[in-house]
């Protein structure tokens, strides 16, 4: 909240969004929400720069996985993210690029999927495209809710963001399953 009132708050938001997508544990939502509440006149710009910064950070995560995964692997094995990383590899083998879309939107640690995408050699263009869609959907949904809900929506978002994310993933998964089974 302190940084959200500063004129340079968007720079902090960019830095956090970039870092979170490749190595930092705090999601950008924790800054996007208060900054958006403080600067509703710039809410769509804030969602855009959060998306762009997050995808650029995701590209760094991809490059880490592609070029230096062997150096990162020992740290990853010791971290709380190892199980998520193992699951991300399974998701890539089952769903390919759709895993990036879901990870980009959901409360799943996106950084793990960016590193795993590089390590497994997922197509970089597809990775970027699905990251833009997934991350953009997440951050623009937050901006949309704040823009139309204002201060009243803040508490609801902070309390239920994970449930909202998982519910939307479930709905997307069911739609995907329906079309996969009946096409």
Q: What is the pLDDT of residues 76-85, one digit of tens each?
A: 888 877 887 8
pLDDT at 158: 65
- Could you tell me the pTM of the whole model? 0.80
The whole-number pLDDT of residue 15 equals 93
Angle at 24 between CA 34 and CA 49, to 5 degrees: 50
pLDDT, average across residues 40-60: 96
Taking only Cα atoms into account, the Rg of the chain, rounded to an integer number of angstroms, comes to 16
Round to whole Å and give the CA distance between 159 and 139: 16
The domain segmentation of the chain, as residue ranges, is: 3-182
- Residue where the block lists tokens 């640690």: 109
Instruction: Give the pLDDT of residue 63.
Output: 95
Cβ proximity of 1 and 34 under 8 Å: yes
CA 86 – CA 37 distance, rounded (Å): 37
**pLDDT at residue 14 greater than cutoff 90:** yes
What percent of the chain clears pLDDT 90, i.e. is strictly above it?
Answer: 33
Which one is predicted more confidently, 143 or 30?
143
Question: Which has the closest alpha carbon to 32: 146, 169, 155?
Answer: 146
pLDDT-derived band at 88, boundaries 50, 70, 90: confident
Please give the residue that has the higher pLDDT: either 153 or 59. Answer: 59
Going by pLDDT thresholds of 50, 70 and 90, the confidence category of residue 49 is: very high
Q: How far is CA 40 from the centre of its chain?
A: 22
Asked whether the predicted pLDDT for residue 1 surpasses 60, the reply is no
* Residue 178 confidence (pLDDT) above 70: no
Tokens (6 digits) for 143: 């901006």
pLDDT of 114 higher than 80? yes
């Amino acid at each position: 909240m302190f940084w959200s009132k500063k004129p340079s708050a968007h720079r902090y938001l960019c830095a956090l969004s970039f870092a979170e997508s490749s190595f930092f544990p705090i999601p950008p939502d924790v800054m996007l929400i208060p900054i958006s509440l403080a600067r509703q006149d710039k809410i769509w710009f804030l969602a855009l720069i959060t998306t762009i910064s997050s995808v650029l950070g995701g590209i760094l995560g991809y490059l880490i996985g592609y070029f230096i995964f062997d150096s990162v692997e020992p740290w990853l094995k010791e971290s709380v993210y190892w199980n998520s990383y193992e699951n991300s590899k399974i998701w890539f083998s089952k769903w390919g690029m759709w895993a990036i879309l879901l990870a980009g939107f959901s409360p799943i640690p996106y950084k793990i999927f960016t590193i795993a995408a590089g390590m497994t050699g997922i197509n970089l263009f597809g990775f970027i495209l699905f990251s833009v869609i997934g991350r953009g959907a997440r951050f623009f949904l937050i901006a949309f809710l704040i823009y139309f809900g204002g201060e009243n929506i803040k508490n609801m978002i902070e309390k239920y963001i994970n449930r909202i994310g998982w519910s939307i993933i479930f709905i997307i998964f069911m739609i995907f399953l329906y079309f996969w089974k009946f096409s």
